[in-house]
Structures are given as structure tokens and as C-alpha cells.
């Protein structure tokens, strides 16, 4: 782990979320601003004290949208950096904010993300790419391929995959911010419209709109800003990994869950914690199969066992490894730029003991994993 040399302790001092869903009367900047205002209020810091901001988003909504959103607060001349890293754009913005502080460059930072994802299947390549003729560039088709192979290799039945969606909807029913709050039965999930067999509609995350924000602060600067230490959550590990050599090569690497494993091992080493210490986890469940494979790649469950654990209820709110406690991408929806910070919002809320009916008892360590096509993975570990 020689490339990591964290310095100062970094805390999350505040988090904010705009509900996820469809908001035709609000533009991207307006969604983002609401989340930022909530995070500033939550941390009880003044905008004019924030020295840097990182903004995650993917779809083109005009240039430098981060500046447009923050202009409403009054442009203070600080560096504002717009970040695009596919579905992990928000968590990449957070990662940059962490490293900006731990290295001593900044004492505080705003990380925020927002998105208005168009309806319909999500593709990765540009419109003029030859892939449109080949038919392979289709995010949920990629998950369909992974799911079929996982079922073949592990013996997981369709009902085990569908149970992931049932569980996510149960969690989301307790979350006023979720895009999809109604619960479904196993049969309803299995019998919903097929999208890319064996994936059915309710096993795919909705494309959504929404925004999320976090205020990070150096541990040694909390007093100077008058921040309430009792509500601060420590960032114990912050790792980003992009696709690498030997990431199984060929043209399906964009759909591979394997990038998560080295990122997780780095994050465990950096934090001095192991998978056995994690009390709750948010993972990238763009489709049901994603949750199972990420839990295994994070070493939270042995390979081929996540589907069994799901059927036994071990990933539920009352289980041994509560997963996607706010409903995850499957029920929160997936506004790309916001998702990674939404996961951090939920983790921080849980570790503060402020998650209400979703609260995991005595939660001390939380992990948030967010993937992006390309491929990218971020793993963040938080401690109370």
C-alpha cells in the first residue's frame, strides 16, 4: 500500500441529501444546492469558511455546473472542481476532498454530487461508437451476463437474487428520501418485466434525479470552526482504484466486480480494520447481482455465499451484515453523481445513531463501496 500515506485525521462534519426521484421543475444546480445547504446546516459551518469544493456529475448539463450551483451561495473565489468518474463520480469527489485535507492542503472541504439521469437503458460509450451496432454496450445486459454466470457457478436460484430487491424495498419503505418506497413480494420481483434475462425490472435500479453533499474537516481544525465533535464521524479509509492490467482483459471488464477486491484490501489496511469489524455496508447494487458480488469482493461474505446469506436474512437490517440499509441503488434510485455521497450520507447517519426506524444497533464501523464503468471502484470506511 505504498501509494497511500495519510496524514491528518479527517472527519465528516455534516451531510445533506436531496430526495431521489423525478423533479422536472428543478434543474441540476437547484438539486445540488439543496443538498449543500443541508450539509452546511448539519455541520453548522458557514459557506464563506469552506475553502474548496469537489462536484461529481456525469451527464452534460452545461460547463462547470459545480460553479453554477455554488454561485447561488455567493462565489467566494475558492477552487471548485468538477469530477466525472462514471457512477462513482460522487464518491470520487469525496475521495479527493479527503486527500485534500489529510495531506494538509485544506482544513475543510465540500464534496457534493447531483444528477438528472435520462430515462431508458444506460450505455457507456459515445453515441458514434461502433458498439451501438454490436449491441454489447448496455449496462443491465452486462449485469444480466454476470447474473447468469453467477447462478451457474454458485447454484443460486432466481429467488435468491430477487430476495435482494425485496430486502432493499423493505429498507426503503423506512426512508423518506427513497425514489421507490413501496415494497414488493418475491413473486412480484420475479414476475416483473424482463429487461435482460435473467434480470427483471425490479432487479434493476431506477434511473433517477437527486443530490447529496458532505462537509469534511480536519480533526485538528474542528475547534477553530466551532464544529460539534460528538456528531463527527471519522474517515478511517479512503481508496479509489481504476481498471488495471490483468483486470481480466477483453471487452467485458467494464462489467467486472473484481476491481473492488484490491480496493477493499487497501482500505482495510489503511484503516487497520478488517471485514469482521464492519457493522453495516452500502454497496453498488445497480442490479441485484451487483450486491451479491460486491459483498463477496469486499470479503464480507465468502465467494458464492452471498446469495445464501441473503435468503437467510443476514443482509437485512437485523442481520449480521446489514447491507444497503437505506434501500441502495435498487430503491433509492441512481443519480450517478449523487450516489456515492448518498451512501456516505447513510453510513454517517447510521454511525451517529440518527437513522430512526432503519437504525442498526450499536453501529461503530461502516463501509461504502461505489463502482463506476471504465472501471472504477471507491471504498470508504467510517468509524464512530
Partner 1 sequence: MPVSVDSNRLRLTNEDGTEGVLVGFRCRECGTHVFGAATFCQGCTSDQLEPVDLSQHGTLYSYTIVRVPPAGWPGQVPYTLGQVQLPEGPQVLAEVVDCPAEDLKIGINVELTLRQVRGEESGADRVVYKWRPAGTT
Among 64-72, 104-112, 187-195, 324-332, which window interacts with partner 1 (CB under 8 A)? 187-195
Nearer to partner 1, 92 or 377 (CB): 377
Q: Which is nearer to partner 1, 60 or 362 (CB)?
A: 60
Site string for partner 1, 252-271 (x = CB under 8 A): x-------------------
Residue 137, C-beta contacts closer than 8 angstroms, at least 6 positions apart: 123, 124, 125, 129, 131
Query: Which range touches partner 1 (CB under 8 A), out of 164-172, 228-236, 245-253, 293-301?
Result: 245-253
The least distance separating partner 1 from the CB of residue 144, rounded to whole angstroms, comes to 3
* Kind and range of the H or E run holding 114: strand 108-116
Count of residues engaged in binding partner 1, rule: CB under 8 A:
36
Position 141 contacts partner 1 (CB under 8 A) = yes
152 or 362: whose CB is closer to partner 1?
A: 152
Closest by alpha carbon to 145, among 244, 257, 242, 243? 257
| Cα distance between residue 350 and residue 361, in whole Å | 9
**From CA 174, how far away is CA 309, in angstroms rounded?**
22
Select the residue interacting with partner 1 from 187, 228, 251, 312 (CB under 8 A): 251
Closer Cβ to partner 1, 72 or 252, answer by number: 252
Known catalytic membership, residue 217? no
Q: Angle at which helices 139-154 and 158-172 pack, to 10 degrees?
A: 120
Name the minimum Å distance from CB 20 to partner 1: 21
Judged by beta carbon, residue 77 or residue 135, the one nearer partner 1 is 135
- Does 375 bind partner 1 (CB under 8 A)? Our answer is no
**287 part of the interface to partner 1, by CB under 8 A:** no
Distance CA 345, CA 339 (A): 10
Residue from 37, 73, 136, 221 in contact with partner 1 (CB under 8 A): 136
Who contacts 110 (Cβ-Cβ below 8 Å, separation ≥6)? 36, 39, 50, 52, 53, 54, 97, 213, 214, 215, 216
Between 199 and 232, whose beta carbon lies closer to partner 1?
199
Which 8-state DSSP code applies to residue 229? Answer: G
Q: Which of 25, 246, 276, 318 binds partner 1 (CB under 8 A)?
A: 246
Sites for partner 1 among residues 40-69 (CB under 8 A): none
Beta-sheet strand order (sheet of 209-218): 80-83, 53-56, 108-116, 209-218, 10-21, 233-242, 376-383, 365-372, 280-282
Q: State the Cα torsion 221-72-42-349 to the nearest 10°.
A: -110
Site membership for partner 1, residue 250 (CB under 8 A):
yes
User: How far is 235 from 9, CA to CA, in rounded Å?
Assistant: 8
Give bridge partners of residue 370 from the DSSP assignment: 378
- Interacting residues with partner 1 between 88 and 127 (CB under 8 A): 120-121, 123, 127
CB of 375 to partner 1, least distance (A): 13
DSSP 8-state secondary structure symbol assigned to residue 359 = P
Q: Which 143-182 residues touch partner 1, going by CB under 8 A?
A: 144-149, 152
* Cell numbers given for 214: 458532505
Of the pair 46, 248, the CB lying nearest partner 1 is at 248
State which of positions 191-210 bind partner 1 (CB under 8 A).
193-199
Shortest gap between Cβ of 216 and partner 1 (angstroms)? 35
Query: Do 344 and 15 meet the contact criterion of CB atoms below 8 Å apart?
Result: yes
Give the residues lining the site for partner 1 (CB under 8 A): 120-121, 123, 127, 130, 132-138, 140-141, 144-149, 152, 193-199, 245-252
Which residues are catalytic, by number? Answer: 87
Amino acid at each position: 500500500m505504498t501509494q497511500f500515506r495519510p496524514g491528518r485525521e479527517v472527519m465528516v462534519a455534516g451531510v445533506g441529501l436531496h430526495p431521489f426521484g423525478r423533479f422536472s421543475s428543478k434543474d441540476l444546480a437547484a438539486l445540488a444546492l439543496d443538498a449543500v445547504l443541508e450539509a452546511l446546516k448539519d455541520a453548522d459551518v458557514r459557506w464563506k469558511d469552506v475553502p474548496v469544493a469537489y462536484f461529481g456529475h456525469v451527464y452534460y448539463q452545461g460547463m462547470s455546473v459545480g460553479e453554477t450551483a455554488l454561485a447561488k451561495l455567493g462565489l467566494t473565489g475558492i477552487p471548485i472542481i468538477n469530477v466525472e468518474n462514471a457512477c462513482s463520480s460522487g464518491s470520487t469527489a469525496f475521495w479527493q476532498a479527503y486527500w485534500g485535507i489529510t495531506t494538509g492542503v485544506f482544513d475543510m472541504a465540500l464534496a457534493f454530487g447531483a444528477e438528472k439521469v435520462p430515462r431508458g437503458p444506460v450505455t457507456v460509450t459515445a453515441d458514434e461508437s461502433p458498439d451501438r451496432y454490436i449491441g454489447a454496450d448496455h449496462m443491465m445486459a452486462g449485469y444480466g451476463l454476470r447474473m447468469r454466470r453467477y447462478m451457474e457457478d454458485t447454484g443460486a436460484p432466481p429467488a435468491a437474487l430477487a430476495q435482494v430487491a425485496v430486502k432493499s424495498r423493505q429498507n426503503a419503505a423506512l426512508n423518506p428520501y427513497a425514489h421507490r418506497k413501496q415494497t414488493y413480494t418475491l413473486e412480484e420481483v420475479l414476475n416483473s418485466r424482463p429487461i435482460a434475462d435473467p434480470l427483471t425490472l425490479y432487479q434493476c435500479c431506477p434511473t433517477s434525479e437527486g443530490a447529496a453533499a458532505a462537509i469534511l474537516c480536519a480533526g485538528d481544525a474542528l475547534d477553530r470552526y466551532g464544529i460539534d465533535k460528538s456528531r463527527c464521524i471519522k474517515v478511517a479509509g479512503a481508496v479509489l482504484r481504476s481498471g488495471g492490467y490483468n483486470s481480466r482483459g477483453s471487452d467485458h471488464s467494464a462489467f467486472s466486480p473484481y476491481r473492488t477486491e484490491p480496493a477493499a484490501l487497501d482500505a482495510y489496511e489503511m484503516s487497520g480494520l478488517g471485514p469482521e469489524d464492519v457493522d453495516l455496508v452500502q454497496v453498488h447494487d445497480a442490479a441485484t447481482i451487483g450486491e451479491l458480488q460486491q459483498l463477496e469482493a469486499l470479503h464480507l461474505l465468502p465467494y458464492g455465499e452471498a446469495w445464501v446469506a441473503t435468503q437467510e436474512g443476514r443482509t437485512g437490517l437485523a442481520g449480521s451484515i446489514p447491507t444497503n440499509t437505506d434501500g441502495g441503488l435498487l430503491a433509492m434510485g441512481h443519480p450517478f453523481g449523487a450516489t456515492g455521497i448518498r451512501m456516505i450520507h447513510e453510513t454517517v447517519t447510521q454511525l451517529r445513531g440518527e437513522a430512526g426506524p432503519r437504525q442498526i444497533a450499536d453501529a461503530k464501523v461502516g463501509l461504502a463501496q461505489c463502482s463506476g464503468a471504465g472501471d472504477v471502484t471507491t471504498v470508504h470506511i467510517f468509524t464512530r
